[in-house]
Structure 1
Protein backbone atom coordinates (compact mmCIF):
# COMPACT_ATOMS: atom_id res chain seq x y z
CA UNK A 1 0.00 0.00 0.00
CA UNK A 2 1.22 3.41 -0.74
CA UNK A 3 2.17 5.66 2.10
CA UNK A 4 0.58 8.98 1.97
CA UNK A 5 1.76 11.58 4.38
CA UNK A 6 -1.08 13.81 5.28
CA UNK A 7 0.77 15.69 7.98
CA UNK A 8 1.60 19.38 7.30
CA UNK A 9 5.24 18.59 6.49
CA UNK A 10 5.77 21.74 4.49
CA UNK A 11 4.85 23.92 7.42
CA UNK A 12 7.14 21.94 9.70
CA UNK A 13 9.96 22.30 7.20
CA UNK A 14 9.31 26.02 7.00
CA UNK A 15 9.26 26.28 10.81
CA UNK A 16 12.47 24.26 11.04
CA UNK A 17 14.21 26.47 8.46
CA UNK A 18 12.94 29.53 10.28
CA UNK A 19 14.39 28.23 13.58
CA UNK A 20 17.73 27.42 11.91
CA UNK A 21 17.77 30.86 10.33
CA UNK A 22 17.07 32.52 13.71
CA UNK A 23 19.79 30.39 15.35
CA UNK A 24 22.28 31.38 12.63
CA UNK A 25 21.26 35.05 12.94
CA UNK A 26 21.59 34.84 16.75
CA UNK A 27 24.99 33.14 16.42
CA UNK A 28 26.13 35.80 13.97
CA UNK A 29 24.90 38.51 16.34
CA UNK A 30 26.71 36.92 19.30
CA UNK A 31 29.85 36.41 17.18
CA UNK A 32 29.71 40.02 15.92
CA UNK A 33 29.21 41.31 19.46
CA UNK A 34 32.17 39.20 20.66
CA UNK A 35 34.38 40.47 17.80
CA UNK A 36 33.37 44.08 18.51
CA UNK A 37 33.98 43.61 22.24
CA UNK A 38 37.38 41.96 21.70
CA UNK A 39 38.36 44.59 19.10
CA UNK A 40 37.39 47.36 21.51
CA UNK A 41 39.43 45.72 24.28
CA UNK A 42 42.42 45.32 21.95
CA UNK A 43 42.35 48.91 20.71
CA UNK A 44 41.74 50.27 24.21
CA UNK A 45 44.72 48.27 25.47
CA UNK A 46 46.86 49.47 22.53
CA UNK A 47 45.86 53.10 23.23
CA UNK A 48 46.64 52.71 26.93
CA UNK A 49 50.04 51.17 26.10
CA UNK A 50 50.80 54.01 23.68
CA UNK A 51 49.69 56.57 26.27
CA UNK A 52 52.00 54.91 28.82
CA UNK A 53 54.88 55.00 26.29
CA UNK A 54 54.13 58.64 25.51
CA UNK A 55 54.09 59.49 29.23
CA UNK A 56 57.42 57.69 29.68
CA UNK A 57 58.91 59.52 26.71
CA UNK A 58 57.60 62.86 28.02
CA UNK A 59 59.18 62.09 31.40
CA UNK A 60 62.50 61.23 29.75
CA UNK A 61 62.30 64.38 27.63
CA UNK A 62 61.76 66.44 30.79
CA UNK A 63 64.78 64.74 32.40
CA UNK A 64 66.90 65.40 29.30
CA UNK A 65 65.69 69.02 29.17
CA UNK A 66 66.77 69.51 32.77
CA UNK A 67 70.15 67.90 31.99
CA UNK A 68 70.55 70.11 28.92
CA UNK A 69 69.77 73.13 31.08
CA UNK A 70 72.34 71.97 33.66
CA UNK A 71 74.92 71.42 30.92
CA UNK A 72 74.21 74.86 29.51
CA UNK A 73 74.58 76.42 32.96
CA UNK A 74 77.80 74.47 33.52
CA UNK A 75 79.15 75.64 30.16
CA UNK A 76 78.29 79.22 31.08
CA UNK A 77 79.98 78.84 34.48
CA UNK A 78 82.99 77.20 32.84
CA UNK A 79 83.28 80.06 30.36
CA UNK A 80 83.02 82.59 33.19
CA UNK A 81 85.68 80.72 35.17
CA UNK A 82 87.95 80.56 32.12
CA UNK A 83 87.51 84.30 31.61
CA UNK A 84 88.31 84.93 35.27
CA UNK A 85 91.36 82.68 35.05
CA UNK A 86 92.54 84.55 31.96
CA UNK A 87 92.08 87.89 33.72
CA UNK A 88 93.99 86.61 36.75
CA UNK A 89 96.76 85.20 34.52
CA UNK A 90 96.94 88.51 32.65
CA UNK A 91 97.14 90.37 35.94
CA UNK A 92 99.82 87.99 37.20
CA UNK A 93 101.73 88.38 33.95
CA UNK A 94 101.35 92.18 33.96
CA UNK A 95 102.40 92.59 37.57
CA UNK A 96 106.13 92.85 36.79
CA UNK A 97 105.34 94.91 33.67
CA UNK A 98 103.72 97.65 35.75
CA UNK A 99 106.83 97.77 37.93
CA UNK A 100 109.02 98.11 34.85
CA UNK A 101 106.77 100.85 33.44
CA UNK A 102 106.95 102.89 36.64
CA UNK A 103 110.70 102.32 36.77
CA UNK A 104 111.00 103.58 33.18
CA UNK A 105 108.82 106.60 33.96
CA UNK A 106 111.24 107.52 36.75
CA UNK A 107 114.38 106.78 34.70
CA UNK A 108 113.21 108.81 31.70
CA UNK A 109 112.21 111.81 33.81
CA UNK A 110 114.77 114.62 33.23
CA UNK A 111 115.70 117.17 35.90
CA UNK A 112 113.25 120.05 36.10
CA UNK A 113 110.21 117.93 35.09
CA UNK A 114 107.69 116.34 37.41
CA UNK A 115 104.38 114.57 36.95
CA UNK A 116 101.18 115.78 38.59
CA UNK A 117 98.97 113.00 37.29
CA UNK A 118 99.19 109.59 35.64
CA UNK A 119 96.28 107.63 34.19
CA UNK A 120 96.51 104.28 32.41
CA UNK A 121 93.86 102.88 30.09
CA UNK A 122 94.82 99.68 28.35
CA UNK A 123 98.35 100.25 27.09
CA UNK A 124 98.04 104.06 26.87
CA UNK A 125 99.41 106.18 29.71
CA UNK A 126 98.10 109.75 30.00
CA UNK A 127 100.58 112.04 31.75
CA UNK A 128 99.95 115.49 33.20
CA UNK A 129 102.95 117.37 34.54
CA UNK A 130 104.98 120.54 34.81
CA UNK A 131 108.41 121.42 33.43
CA UNK A 132 110.81 124.31 33.88
CA UNK A 133 111.02 124.79 30.11
CA UNK A 134 109.85 123.40 26.79
CA UNK A 135 113.31 121.90 26.26
CA UNK A 136 112.76 119.70 29.31
CA UNK A 137 109.49 118.41 27.79
CA UNK A 138 111.36 117.67 24.54
CA UNK A 139 114.01 115.76 26.50
CA UNK A 140 111.26 113.76 28.21
CA UNK A 141 109.74 112.84 24.83
CA UNK A 142 113.16 111.77 23.47
CA UNK A 143 113.74 109.67 26.58
CA UNK A 144 110.35 107.97 26.05
CA UNK A 145 111.30 107.21 22.42
CA UNK A 146 114.58 105.62 23.57
CA UNK A 147 112.90 103.54 26.30
CA UNK A 148 112.31 99.79 25.82
CA UNK A 149 109.05 99.91 27.79
CA UNK A 150 107.55 103.16 26.46
CA UNK A 151 106.96 104.33 22.89
CA UNK A 152 105.03 106.77 20.69
CA UNK A 153 104.92 109.85 22.95
CA UNK A 154 102.25 112.29 21.81
CA UNK A 155 102.28 115.80 23.26
CA UNK A 156 98.71 117.03 23.61
CA UNK A 157 99.12 120.42 25.25
CA UNK A 158 101.79 122.76 26.63
CA UNK A 159 100.93 126.04 28.30
CA UNK A 160 102.83 128.58 30.35
CA UNK A 161 101.82 128.79 33.99
CA UNK A 162 103.60 132.07 34.79
CA UNK A 163 103.79 134.50 31.92
CA UNK A 164 106.66 136.97 31.73
CA UNK A 165 108.59 135.53 34.68
CA UNK A 166 112.24 134.61 34.34
CA UNK A 167 111.76 131.09 35.71
CA UNK A 168 108.65 130.28 33.72
CA UNK A 169 107.00 126.90 34.40
CA UNK A 170 105.06 125.08 31.69
CA UNK A 171 102.19 122.63 32.24
CA UNK A 172 101.94 119.81 29.73
CA UNK A 173 99.72 116.87 28.84
CA UNK A 174 100.89 113.91 26.82
CA UNK A 175 100.17 110.27 26.11
CA UNK A 176 102.66 107.46 25.70
CA UNK A 177 102.16 103.79 24.78
CA UNK A 178 103.33 100.98 27.03
CA UNK A 179 105.30 98.34 25.13
CA UNK A 180 107.21 95.23 26.05
CA UNK A 181 110.83 94.98 25.04
CA UNK A 182 111.67 92.55 22.29
CA UNK A 183 112.92 89.25 23.65
CA UNK A 184 116.36 88.61 22.20
CA UNK A 185 116.54 85.36 20.31
CA UNK A 186 119.51 83.18 21.22
CA UNK A 187 122.14 83.08 18.52
CA UNK A 188 122.40 79.75 16.76
CA UNK A 189 126.03 78.60 16.66
CA UNK A 190 127.33 78.20 13.13
CA UNK A 191 128.08 74.65 12.20
CA UNK A 192 131.35 74.27 10.42
CA UNK A 193 133.48 71.48 9.18
CA UNK A 194 136.52 70.11 10.96
CA UNK A 195 139.55 72.34 10.82
Structure 2
Protein backbone atom coordinates (compact mmCIF):
# COMPACT_ATOMS: atom_id res chain seq x y z
CA UNK A 1 0.00 0.00 0.00
CA UNK A 2 1.45 3.40 -1.01
CA UNK A 3 1.23 6.24 1.57
CA UNK A 4 1.06 9.76 0.25
CA UNK A 5 1.75 12.68 2.61
CA UNK A 6 -0.63 15.40 1.69
CA UNK A 7 0.48 17.80 4.58
CA UNK A 8 2.34 21.06 3.59
CA UNK A 9 5.83 19.82 4.60
CA UNK A 10 7.61 22.75 2.91
CA UNK A 11 5.70 25.22 5.06
CA UNK A 12 6.55 23.22 8.18
CA UNK A 13 10.27 23.16 7.26
CA UNK A 14 10.30 26.91 6.65
CA UNK A 15 8.57 27.46 9.98
CA UNK A 16 11.17 25.32 11.78
CA UNK A 17 14.05 27.21 10.09
CA UNK A 18 12.44 30.54 10.97
CA UNK A 19 12.02 29.52 14.58
CA UNK A 20 15.64 28.29 14.67
CA UNK A 21 16.86 31.62 13.16
CA UNK A 22 14.90 33.67 15.67
CA UNK A 23 16.19 31.54 18.52
CA UNK A 24 19.80 31.96 17.35
CA UNK A 25 19.26 35.70 16.85
CA UNK A 26 17.87 36.03 20.38
CA UNK A 27 20.77 34.00 21.81
CA UNK A 28 23.27 36.17 19.92
CA UNK A 29 21.60 39.36 21.18
CA UNK A 30 21.59 38.02 24.71
CA UNK A 31 25.27 37.03 24.45
CA UNK A 32 26.14 40.43 22.98
CA UNK A 33 24.27 42.19 25.78
CA UNK A 34 26.04 40.12 28.42
CA UNK A 35 29.43 40.80 26.81
CA UNK A 36 28.70 44.53 26.53
CA UNK A 37 27.65 44.57 30.17
CA UNK A 38 30.83 42.83 31.21
CA UNK A 39 32.96 45.29 29.17
CA UNK A 40 31.06 48.24 30.69
CA UNK A 41 31.61 46.92 34.19
CA UNK A 42 35.33 46.39 33.48
CA UNK A 43 35.78 49.91 32.09
CA UNK A 44 33.80 51.37 34.97
CA UNK A 45 36.07 49.60 37.43
CA UNK A 46 39.16 50.87 35.60
CA UNK A 47 37.80 54.43 35.58
CA UNK A 48 36.96 54.22 39.27
CA UNK A 49 40.46 52.95 40.05
CA UNK A 50 42.06 55.72 37.99
CA UNK A 51 39.87 58.35 39.65
CA UNK A 52 40.89 57.07 43.07
CA UNK A 53 44.55 57.20 41.99
CA UNK A 54 44.11 60.74 40.68
CA UNK A 55 42.48 61.80 43.93
CA UNK A 56 45.34 60.32 45.92
CA UNK A 57 47.88 62.07 43.69
CA UNK A 58 46.08 65.40 44.08
CA UNK A 59 46.10 64.96 47.85
CA UNK A 60 49.84 64.20 47.82
CA UNK A 61 50.50 67.17 45.51
CA UNK A 62 48.66 69.49 47.89
CA UNK A 63 50.62 68.10 50.82
CA UNK A 64 53.91 68.56 48.96
CA UNK A 65 52.91 72.10 47.96
CA UNK A 66 52.36 72.93 51.62
CA UNK A 67 55.74 71.43 52.50
CA UNK A 68 57.40 73.44 49.71
CA UNK A 69 55.80 76.61 51.06
CA UNK A 70 57.07 75.76 54.54
CA UNK A 71 60.56 75.16 53.15
CA UNK A 72 60.47 78.46 51.25
CA UNK A 73 59.41 80.25 54.42
CA UNK A 74 62.22 78.57 56.35
CA UNK A 75 64.73 79.57 53.67
CA UNK A 76 63.50 83.17 53.83
CA UNK A 77 63.83 83.18 57.61
CA UNK A 78 67.33 81.67 57.38
CA UNK A 79 68.35 84.30 54.81
CA UNK A 80 66.96 87.07 57.03
CA UNK A 81 68.83 85.69 60.06
CA UNK A 82 72.06 85.49 58.08
CA UNK A 83 71.58 89.05 56.85
CA UNK A 84 71.03 90.27 60.42
CA UNK A 85 74.05 88.30 61.62
CA UNK A 86 76.18 89.80 58.84
CA UNK A 87 74.91 93.28 59.70
CA UNK A 88 75.86 92.78 63.35
CA UNK A 89 79.31 91.48 62.37
CA UNK A 90 79.80 94.42 60.01
CA UNK A 91 78.83 96.86 62.76
CA UNK A 92 81.26 95.23 65.17
CA UNK A 93 84.09 95.36 62.63
CA UNK A 94 83.19 98.88 61.50
CA UNK A 95 83.73 100.22 65.02
CA UNK A 96 87.48 99.97 64.52
CA UNK A 97 87.52 101.32 60.96
CA UNK A 98 88.17 104.99 61.96
CA UNK A 99 91.10 103.84 64.10
CA UNK A 100 92.60 101.85 61.22
CA UNK A 101 92.01 104.80 58.89
CA UNK A 102 93.87 107.25 61.13
CA UNK A 103 96.71 104.79 61.68
CA UNK A 104 97.08 104.25 57.95
CA UNK A 105 97.07 107.95 57.17
CA UNK A 106 99.80 108.52 59.75
CA UNK A 107 101.86 105.63 58.36
CA UNK A 108 101.41 106.27 54.64
CA UNK A 109 101.34 110.09 54.49
CA UNK A 110 104.53 111.32 52.76
CA UNK A 111 106.51 114.33 53.85
CA UNK A 112 105.22 117.54 52.34
CA UNK A 113 101.56 116.39 52.23
CA UNK A 114 99.00 117.94 54.57
CA UNK A 115 95.42 116.79 55.02
CA UNK A 116 92.83 119.50 55.50
CA UNK A 117 89.66 117.38 55.43
CA UNK A 118 88.79 113.70 55.58
CA UNK A 119 85.32 112.14 55.31
CA UNK A 120 84.20 108.53 55.55
CA UNK A 121 80.95 107.40 53.90
CA UNK A 122 80.46 103.67 54.56
CA UNK A 123 83.68 102.23 53.10
CA UNK A 124 84.55 105.19 50.86
CA UNK A 125 87.04 107.70 52.25
CA UNK A 126 87.37 111.15 50.70
CA UNK A 127 90.65 112.92 51.47
CA UNK A 128 91.24 116.62 50.76
CA UNK A 129 94.66 118.12 51.30
CA UNK A 130 97.60 120.14 50.09
CA UNK A 131 100.95 118.89 48.83
CA UNK A 132 104.18 120.63 48.02
CA UNK A 133 104.13 119.17 44.50
CA UNK A 134 102.31 116.76 42.23
CA UNK A 135 105.01 114.18 42.92
CA UNK A 136 104.04 114.14 46.59
CA UNK A 137 100.43 113.41 45.62
CA UNK A 138 101.60 110.58 43.34
CA UNK A 139 103.66 109.15 46.19
CA UNK A 140 100.61 109.22 48.47
CA UNK A 141 98.58 107.35 45.86
CA UNK A 142 101.31 104.71 45.51
CA UNK A 143 101.49 104.26 49.28
CA UNK A 144 97.74 103.84 49.64
CA UNK A 145 97.47 101.49 46.68
CA UNK A 146 100.49 99.29 47.29
CA UNK A 147 101.52 99.28 50.93
CA UNK A 148 98.38 99.90 52.97
CA UNK A 149 96.62 96.74 54.22
CA UNK A 150 93.45 98.69 55.03
CA UNK A 151 93.09 101.11 52.11
CA UNK A 152 92.71 100.04 48.50
CA UNK A 153 91.81 101.42 45.07
CA UNK A 154 92.95 105.02 45.60
CA UNK A 155 91.62 107.37 42.94
CA UNK A 156 92.65 110.96 42.29
CA UNK A 157 89.50 113.03 41.87
CA UNK A 158 90.98 116.49 41.40
CA UNK A 159 94.28 118.32 41.64
CA UNK A 160 94.74 122.07 41.23
CA UNK A 161 97.68 124.44 41.58
CA UNK A 162 97.57 127.38 43.99
CA UNK A 163 99.84 129.55 46.12
CA UNK A 164 100.19 129.97 49.84
CA UNK A 165 101.66 132.96 51.68
CA UNK A 166 104.42 131.93 54.06
CA UNK A 167 105.50 135.50 54.76
CA UNK A 168 104.49 138.97 53.54
CA UNK A 169 106.79 138.58 50.54
CA UNK A 170 107.17 134.79 50.45
CA UNK A 171 104.72 132.80 48.34
CA UNK A 172 104.97 129.15 47.43
CA UNK A 173 103.15 127.11 44.81
CA UNK A 174 101.32 124.05 46.13
CA UNK A 175 98.96 121.40 44.79
CA UNK A 176 95.49 121.08 46.26
CA UNK A 177 94.12 117.59 45.75
CA UNK A 178 91.05 115.48 46.38
CA UNK A 179 91.25 111.70 46.31
CA UNK A 180 89.10 108.76 47.26
CA UNK A 181 90.00 105.31 48.56
CA UNK A 182 88.16 102.25 49.80
CA UNK A 183 88.55 101.30 53.45
CA UNK A 184 88.52 97.53 53.96
CA UNK A 185 86.60 95.82 56.72
CA UNK A 186 88.40 93.54 59.13
CA UNK A 187 87.40 90.33 57.34
CA UNK A 188 88.41 91.76 53.96
CA UNK A 189 91.76 92.97 55.29
CA UNK A 190 92.48 89.58 56.88
CA UNK A 191 91.57 87.80 53.64
CA UNK A 192 93.79 90.10 51.60
CA UNK A 193 96.65 89.63 54.07
CA UNK A 194 96.33 85.83 53.96
CA UNK A 195 96.27 85.90 50.16
CA UNK A 196 99.37 88.08 50.05
CA UNK A 197 101.23 85.83 52.50
CA UNK A 198 100.28 82.74 50.48
CA UNK A 199 101.51 84.35 47.26
CA UNK A 200 104.76 85.35 48.96
CA UNK A 201 105.27 81.81 50.28
CA UNK A 202 104.64 80.36 46.83
CA UNK A 203 107.08 82.81 45.26
CA UNK A 204 109.78 82.00 47.83
CA UNK A 205 109.24 78.28 47.33
CA UNK A 206 109.57 78.65 43.57
CA UNK A 207 112.76 80.69 43.85
CA UNK A 208 114.45 78.36 46.39
CA UNK A 209 115.54 75.66 43.84
CA UNK A 210 116.98 78.36 41.59
CA UNK A 211 119.32 79.54 44.36
CA UNK A 212 120.49 76.04 45.10
TM-score scaled by length of structure 2: 0.54
Q: C-alpha root-mean-square deviation of aligned residues, in Å?
A: 4.7
Mark the CA change 1:62 to 1:161 in structure 2 (over 3 Å): closer, same or farther. Answer: farther
Equivalent residue, structure 2, for 1:119: 120
Equivalent residue, structure 2, for 1:157: 159
Mark the CA change 1:6 to 1:174 in structure 2 (over 3 Å): closer, same or farther. Answer: closer
TM-score scaled by length of structure 1: 0.57
Secondary structure of residue in 2 paired with 1:90: helix
| Aligned: 1:175 with 2:175 | no
Q: 1:1-195 residue pairs with structure 2 within 5 A?
A: 4=3, 6=5, 8=7, 10=9, 11-105=11-105, 113=114, 115-120=116-121, 122=123, 124-129=124-129, 134=132, 141=140, 149=150, 156-160=158-162, 166=168, 172-176=177-181, 178=183, 180=189
Indicate conservation of the 8 Å contact 2:155/2:179, yes or no. Answer: yes
Give per-residue Cα distances to partners, 1:12-58, cap 9 Å, x unaligned. Answer: 45434433332222122122112212322321332233233223323
Bigger helix share: 2
**CA drift at 1:85:** 2.7
Give per-residue Cα distances to partners, 1:147-173, cap 9 Å, x unaligned. Answer: 765578766425547669648797542
Mark the CA change 1:61 to 1:7 in structure 2 (over 3 Å): closer, same or farther. Answer: farther
Indicate conservation of the 8 Å contact 2:115/2:127, yes or no. Answer: no
The answer for unaligned runs of 5 or more in structure 2 is 198-212
Mark the CA change 1:119 to 1:16 in structure 2 (over 3 Å): closer, same or farther. Answer: same
